[in-house]
A and B are shown apart, each in its own frame.
Chain A
Amino acid sequence: MARLRRITYLTLGFLLLAYLLVFSGCAGSQNRFIKKTSFRGTHSILITFAGPVDEEWATKASNYRVYEKPDPDIVLKISTIELSTNRQTVILHFEEPLNQNQPHMVTMRGIMTEGKSVGTAIVKVRKLYLGYLFSILIGAMLVQNFVFTKYLGLCVFFGTSQKRSTAVGMGVTFTIVIVASAMMSWFLYQFFLKPFHLDFLQIIVFIGLVSLSVQAVDTILRKVNPMLFKAFGVYLVLVIANCIILAVPLILADNEYNAAESLMLALGAGLGFLIALFLMSSVRERLELANVPPTYRGLPIAFVVAGLFALAFLGFSGMSIF
């Protein structure tokens, strides 16, 4: 019976996740005459039309206006335009390489097909959405690891990385709490703070929300699953003292992420913290047995080890996936 319930919960959670992924991915208006848009290589954008377009219209660069979504004022310069023989696909070549991490907006003025106009179209060009989400996840986990490359959450990091079991317990608890609280604060920011122009209250609201959600998890866990509470309850208090839990909502608010992107960033931050704790605790368990000079015993050597890890994580910088 209990197993059945657990399976039901898991399924429900998965469905919710899938719903978020699908629906936030499809957002954005499309003109019906444009079938597909995508990046091609480093310098080009490919546009596929539903029917043949007039060559005279299609090869005129002034009919197109392309910019990165966050900077509508900076218009990208088109060098050449290529039209396929069946006149359905247009390839826009640009003078400079495109920053494919940003969605691009393409405005096409007065599209002409067989001598008549079908109106102006504004389309969004972006990379494969799931790949983009995956790159956010990996980015938050490894490339921009919150502990080793952003230097956040160090108090808790050094406090709980002495034993491997403690480290894993803290990491798992932290991941769960951060996903829950980041999603809540994203919702609150997008639907309450932003529409009512209360952005300046974000610090107060986010920290209040975090302490509330930690308190709620504490109370619920105590009643629902005392065993689990015994294992993870100790770490719940420490979660509030960790500045990553406040940094993630602030980053989400700054970057205007949508629901799926926020989920990925929060998950990446939690998992990245878990990885950092696990690596560090493995080394520190060995250090207990090593012959460390007396002045370096304890925290000083831990700091030096963390510095070496940070140096290693520097190797991830500049890496991009997809």
Chain B
Amino acid sequence: MCPAVGISTTVMNGLMLGTAVLFVQVCSSCTIAAIKNYIHPRIRIPTYTLTIATWVTVIDLVLSAYAPEAYKAMGIFIKLIVAFAIITMRLEVFACKNTVAMSFWDGLGMGLGFMFGMVTLGFIRELLGMGTLLGHNVLGFRPLLFFALPLAGFFCVGFMMAIFNYVELVFNRRKKRRG
């Protein structure tokens, strides 16, 4: 949730962080699914944490070596993927009970979902804040410069949640009318 507010200012940032999360999710899901029979149930949570930390270290080092610019823009958020509750939750709920292949597809789905959310947020904020998309000038002017501020992420997430709530509300109302 934290990076959704902090660094989803552009599509590119959202895409990069989404990719990193996708990678970590898929890799740690597969790892846990592969070694699930050797983990004592009482120390499973620390094992998950350490597995995720290992893969985060990998992506952290890779990004700092091959994409130093983007790495600098994202700052500390890449390292903080470790504290993501969704990844741990997915390992606890799915990966420790299923095969490697199943866990791979599950991790891919979760990661793509997160990436989609981040890119959508980045799309809205970049378009409204800077009038650009992926660095290309699309609108030619800046509609609401406010959205380029990092703190506008709070408002943006709030509005998006409200929209989802509205859709759900309308859907439920129609269902009731029909039923």
Contacts and interface: CB of A to CB of B under 8 A. Distances in A.
Interface string B156-179: 011101110110010000000000
Contacts of B101: none
Contact of B2 (A153, A301, A302, A307): A153
A153 to B, nearest CB: 7
A208 interface: yes
Interface in B1-24: 1-3, 5-6
B56 A155 contact: no
A300 interface: yes
Contacts of B45: 211
A150 interface: yes
Interface in B85-114: 85
Given A151-B5, A153-B2, A250-B79, A200 B57 contact: yes
A251 B6 contact: no
Interface stretch (A82-90, A133-141, A221-229, A291-299): A291-299
Nearest to B155: A307
Interface string A301-315: 111101100110010
A204 B53 contact: yes
A243 to B, nearest CB: 4
Nearest to A215: B46
A15 interface: no
A152 interface: yes
Contacts of B155: 303-304, 307
B49 interface: yes
B61 interface: yes
A275 interface: no
B82 interface: yes
B162 A207 contact: no
B76 interface: yes
Contacts of B57: 200-201, 203-204
Contacts of A299: 158, 161
Contacts of A251: 76
B158 A301 contact: yes
A219 to B, nearest CB: 14
B54 interface: yes
Interface residues of B, number: 36
Contacts, number: 105
A243 B154 contact: no
B139 interface: no
Interface stretch (B31-39, B127-135, B145-153): B145-153
B50 interface: yes
Contact of A310 (B54, B151, B162): B151
Contacts of B138: none
Interface in B31-77: 45-46, 49-50, 53-54, 56-57, 60-61, 76
A98 interface: no
B2 A152 contact: yes
A19 B159 CA distance: 51
B154 A306 contact: yes
Given A307-B151, A307-B152, A208 B50 contact: yes
A223 to B, nearest CB: 19
A16 B53 CA distance: 33
Counting chain B CB atoms within 10 Å of each CB, the highest count among A203, A211, A240 belongs to A203
Contacts of B79: 203, 246, 250
Interface of B: 1-3, 5-6, 45-46, 49-50, 53-54, 56-57, 60-61, 76, 79-80, 82-83, 85, 150-155, 157-159, 161-163, 165-166, 169
Task: Sort A-B residue pairs by CB-CB distance and give the 5 closest, nearest first.
Answer: A307-B154, A303-B158, A151-B6, A243-B83, A310-B151
11 contacts: A203-B60, A211-B46, A240-B49, A240-B83, A242-B83, A245-B83, A294-B165, A297-B165, A300-B162, A307-B155, A307-B158
Given A203-B79, A207-B83, A304-B158, 6 more contacts: A154-B5, A155-B2, A207-B53, A296-B158, A303-B158, A307-B158
